[in-house]
Structure 1
């Protein structure tokens, strides 16, 4: 898992990119966690808008995927 720190709108976030992402057009997301929000973005186009969800919603999503996060 690759970690990238980026500043956006004056807020610094540490993004975690799936080890399944590749430079060859792999379809993956990056995730950054905050106290009250989990931020999700497209790893191929990080300038696009991000999805922000409550931590509880993210946990429910991970539970649906069988706990696989990378």
Structure 2
């Protein structure tokens, strides 16, 4: 049976991921986005999360827990 827990990837992995998210949020002009959860799993289906990665339309924006980008949802 597979463990329900994620494998620990090391502190360096999490530091690089946080730095990437912070750089993406700063370049978008919204450094507060880095305070949002980093994944849909961490958001636990409530509110928004910010991956720092572009959506399929190229937007760097938080995403709703259903997975769609906030900028796409607003029609930008």
Give the TM bin, normalised by the shorter chain.
under 0.3
Q: Would you tell me which structure has more helix in proportion to its own residues?
A: 2
Q: Would you tell me which structure has more strand in proportion to its own residues?
A: 1
Q: TM-score when scaled to structure 2?
A: 0.26
Q: TM-score when scaled to structure 1?
A: 0.28
**Whose radius of gyration is greater, 1 or 2?**
2
